[in-house]
Amino acid sequence: MPEKHLSLLEKVHSSYKQLAATAISLNDTFEEFGKSVEEIDYALRTSNLGTYLGTPVWIQIDGQDDGQTSYWRRELGYDRIDNRWGITVRTRSGSYLNSSHNKCDVWFFTDAPRRLQVEAAEKLPELLQTLTKESDAIAQRINGKFSASASTGPTTRSSDKSETVCTVCLSS
């Protein structure tokens, strides 16, 4: 009888050792991924993109909405939290019948719960493409307004600002 008990303890110990090694690997992976997202986020922030956008941009990750009683959503976006623009994740849920049940939580990407980071990661390219489209549309509107007065306006000079380069984006 003690031999069976001992073998069970050995199995538990062995399984725990495997789990501990996996947890270390997972934490290391998340840390590296988080650094990559922070670098992209920094490049976006230093470009002053949020100043030009003026309003948040959101991409739906997952959700359900029956249109009559309740909804829930998980979203990836570019939003402002405490006067700082950044890549964000939010969850929203609520009731169309009772607004006191509505709830919204927003985090900067690397502060979000890890399960949300995993879900949101697949949508990062889509978010960046949407931000590009929004920025292009703003630039075209501005160019349209200034091109009419360009012949009478002052000449432009090159900017002294250096371009912020995201090395994560360059390495792929």
Count CB neighbours of 47 within 10 A.
17
Q: Among candidates 100, 91, 104, 94, which has minimal Cα distance to 69?
A: 94
* Amino acid occupying residue 78: Y
73-122, pLDDT tens digit by residue? 999 999 999 999 999 999 999 999 999 989 999 999 999 999 999 999 99
DSSP letter at 4 equals: H
31-46, pLDDT tens digit by residue? 899 899 999 999 999 9
With a threshold of 0.85, does the pTM exceed it?
no
The arithmetic mean of pLDDT across residues 126-135, rounded, is: 94
Of the pLDDT bands very low, low, confident and very high (cuts 50, 70, 90), residue 30 is: confident
Q: Please, which residues bridge with residue 80 across strands?
A: 85
135-170, pLDDT tens digit by residue? 999 889 888 887 765 555 555 555 555 555 555 555
End-to-end CA gap in the chain: 58
Length of the chain in residues, anyone?
172
Question: What SS3 class is residue 81?
Answer: strand
